Amino acid sequence: MPISHPPTPGRALWVTAHPRAESLNGRLFREGVEALSTRYGMATSDLYAQDFNPVLGDSDLGELAGVPGNLAQQAGESYAAGQLPPEVQAEQAKLAAAELLILQFPLWWYGPPAILKGWFDRVLTDRFAYGDLDPELDIPRRYGDGGLAGRRALIIVTAGEDERSIGPRGISGDLDTLLFPITHGVLWYTGIETLALHVVYDADTLDPARAEQEIKRLRERLDTLESETPRRFRSLRDGDYRGTRALRADILPGRTDLGIHLTE
CA quadruple 80, 83, 85, 87: dihedral, nearest 10: 50
Inform me whether the pLDDT recorded for 137 exceeds 70.
no
- Among 102, 70, 75, which residue's Cα sits nearest to residue 88? 75
SS3 184: helix
- Which of left, alpha, beta for 150 (phi over 0: left; psi -120 to 50: alpha)? left
Confidence of residue 19 (pLDDT cuts 50, 70, 90): very high
Average pLDDT over residues 174-184: 95
> What average pLDDT does the chain have?
92
Distance CA 155, CA 101 (A): 8
Q: What is the mean pLDDT of residues 213-235?
A: 94
Express each pLDDT in 147-174 by its tens digit. 899 999 999 999 998 888 898 888 988 9
Residue 1 — very low, low, confident or very high, per pLDDT cuts 50/70/90?
Answer: very low
By the 10 Å C-beta count (0-12 exposed, 13-18 middle, 19+ buried), 220 is classed as: exposed
Q: What is the pLDDT of residue 242?
A: 81
Set out the domains of the chain in order of their start, with CATH numbers.
Answer: 11-229 (3.40.50.360)
Looking at the DSSP bridge assignments, the partners of residue 156 are 104, 198
Contact 187, 229 (CB under 8 A): no
Percent of the chain with pLDDT over 90: 78
Residue 133's pLDDT band, with cuts at 50, 70 and 90, is low
